[in-house]
Chains A and B, each alone.
Chain A
Amino acid sequence: MSILVNRDTRLVVQGITGREGAFHTEQMIAYGTKVVAGVTPGKGGGWGVGNVPIFDSVQEAVSATGANTSIIYVPARFAPDAILEAADAGVGLIICITEGVPALDMLRVRAYLDRTSSRLVGPNCPGLITPGEAKVGIMPGHIHTRGSVGLVSRSGTLTYEVVYALTLRGIGQSTAVGIGGDPINGTSFVDVLRMFENDAETKQVVMIGEIGGADEERAAEFIGTHMTKPVTAFIAGQTAPPGKRMGHAGAIISGGKGTAADKIAALDAVGVRVASHPGEIAEMVAALIR
């Protein structure tokens, strides 16, 4: 097993004719992901990279191909609309890669999604991958290997760093999920931790958080009360100054809240082992396997 994406994933790419969309569609197909449709309004009836049929709307794509998952590469100003369109077409899992979506747009989008049965991952995320089955995102596929460690992260390249270190040690991953670095997103740490707890293949979990917000604190509470599987964590931004946004819109210490120290203390209190630097994570995970 695994979570969220697998061999049965039938993917529709929203924004397939854009530069990013086209490049990553090729990469996903090369990895073995079943990309069944693309959507670019006005270009329906044509063919995209990898001979993927293009439709004018998500609804048409879903009706014609049975797509059950969508990935979004459209520019930030069109992304809220793209997410809502996918939800209204009944797509169950929507992954939004786009960075820089206005926070108040996401506020309304998320409020709407909560009334549907669709799950959004992102925005501003690298996507997710179940090694050997489906890559739905922009991560380099070749650094992953299949195994029993579940990963969940707010960051992109930092996740690659950790995955690569695990792979070099011969430790594989069940699914790696990037939930994104924005203040309002679709899927939280707790959502993913719950899925990993219920997934038979996942034996332990790595959680990579960063400064800002309180999603890590809520994750700590959930781990303390609901999780039996061991969790190893890292929190980026221990040296970040308050009041400065560290790249991600969500990575900011404001009003003295959201510091790395608070998050580490909360995780520590429920028995999560917290690495002091990313290089330690793979060691800590390996120690649990032995």
Chain B
Amino acid sequence: MKLQEFQAKRIFGQFGIPVPLGEVAETPAEARAIAERLGGTVVIKSQVLVGGRGKAGGIKLAKSPDEAEQVAGRILGMDIKGLTVKKVLVDPAADIRKELYLGMVLDRGSRRVVIMASSEGGVDIEEVAAQTPEKIITAAVDPCLGLREYQARDLALNIGLPKEQLGKFAAICQGLYECYMKCDASLAEINPLAILGDNRLVALDGKMVLDDSALFRHADLAAMRDEDEETSEEREARANDLSYVKLDGEIGCMVNGAGLAMATMDIIKYYGGSPANFLDVGGGAKAEKVAAALRIILSDPNVKAVLLNIFGGITRCDEVARGILQALKQVPTQTPMVVRLVGTNYEEGRAILAEAKMETAETLAGAAQKAVAAARAQGRIA
């Protein structure tokens, strides 16, 4: 789960990291009031979970409360990469002397939380990594020892920070590490971490991604989820404990198991089609869950055919078949479907589906070819 900038910075602040004293506005009038309170020039930043907000015109300066109201009026409601801006953060404008980068991720290879720092902040860090990798300095943290102060000081020295900043930088590193571990983050990033004209170090931007598997022990963080950032299909999928990712193609897929679901998408592509989604119904899927999955798939107007690929193990094919019939009663459809059932109770499953007159297939390759052909035929009719 991704957090918005204002949420991430609020949390950083709780761990002792200096952040600007801005507030969030949902209307131009609120933005004006915040600008009045802050006094001086403010920066108005759209709160949407995509990169490149600045380039899209979603971050602007305002020199007066009047201007803040106008600018907020333009940014609120703006569309940035398909997302509508519903909130802006109004921060005091900063006198930036130098922009640094500080980030933490879980490195799978070394099985450590790795801290990355760079003197080249304020820009896309992936570009820095690709073009001048020597400008990114890293340190790995032993999970038993935690981040040691000398490691943070070494980072500061290696990115060429002036000596008077060492202590402040080390404290920010410690705060971010503590924040990362306490919140069960998978990414925490300050970009830029700015050196201001008065020599303060301040986190001007913040990004956090949380480990979904750990949200059960962070009710406060889980409550920060912005449902506006999800499509209604994604919401329904989450409510039904389905793993769903929408894609741009025309063949809807329902599969049990993530690896098999990806392989099913791949084979659709191999035979010249294109998948409309990734959908894993999970192990032991019951009829209601299958029905919800089918409703989600059929609600996508791009879907011209549906491929159901179920390899029964814990999942029983007869349960899945009943779910399909149940869903078809709820959402009658003309969309052609190809069903492949293998494994536990497949004979019963196939018998149940015989009455629905669906196309069936024995092999995955066969099922994919039939689905691609069905989608093409639909395309011609439409």
Contacts and interface: CB of A to CB of B under 8 A. Distances in A.
Interface stretch (B59-67, B161-169, B275-283, B329-337): B275-283
Interface residues on A, range: 35 or more
A224 interface: no
Contacts of A159: 259
Contacts of B111: 107, 110-111, 184
A255 B126 contact: yes
Contacts of B343: 140, 143, 160, 164
B121 interface: no
B258 interface: yes
Interface string B296-323: 0000000000000001111000000000
Nearest to A255: B126
Contacts, number: 173
A155 B280 CA distance: 12
Contact of A181 (B184, B214, B258, B265): B258
Interface string A236-264: 11111100111111110001100010000
Contacts of A76: 213, 216
Nearest to B265: A239
Interface string B100-127: 0000001011011100000000000010
A111 B144 contact: yes
A288 interface: no
A279 B258 contact: no
Main secondary structure on A side of the interface with B: loop
Interface string A140-165: 10010000000001111111110010
Contacts of B255: 157
A197 interface: no
Interface stretch (A30-38, A39-47, A198-206, A208-216): A208-216
B245 A183 contact: no
Interface stretch (B24-32, B266-274, B347-355): B266-274
Contact of A256 (B126, B265, B364): B126
B106 A153 contact: no
Contacts of A105: 214
Contact of B262 (A143, A218, A237): A237
B266 A77 contact: no
Interface stretch (A6-14, A81-89, A95-103): A95-103
Given A247-B280, A279-B267, A211 B262 contact: yes
Given A104-B214, A255-B126, 8 more contacts: A140-B312, A156-B260, A158-B257, A161-B342, A184-B108, A214-B108, A236-B259, A277-B267
Interface of A: 23, 76-77, 100-105, 107-108, 110-112, 126, 138-140, 143, 153-161, 164, 181, 183-184, 208, 210-211, 213-215, 218, 234, 236-241, 244-251, 255-256, 260, 276-279
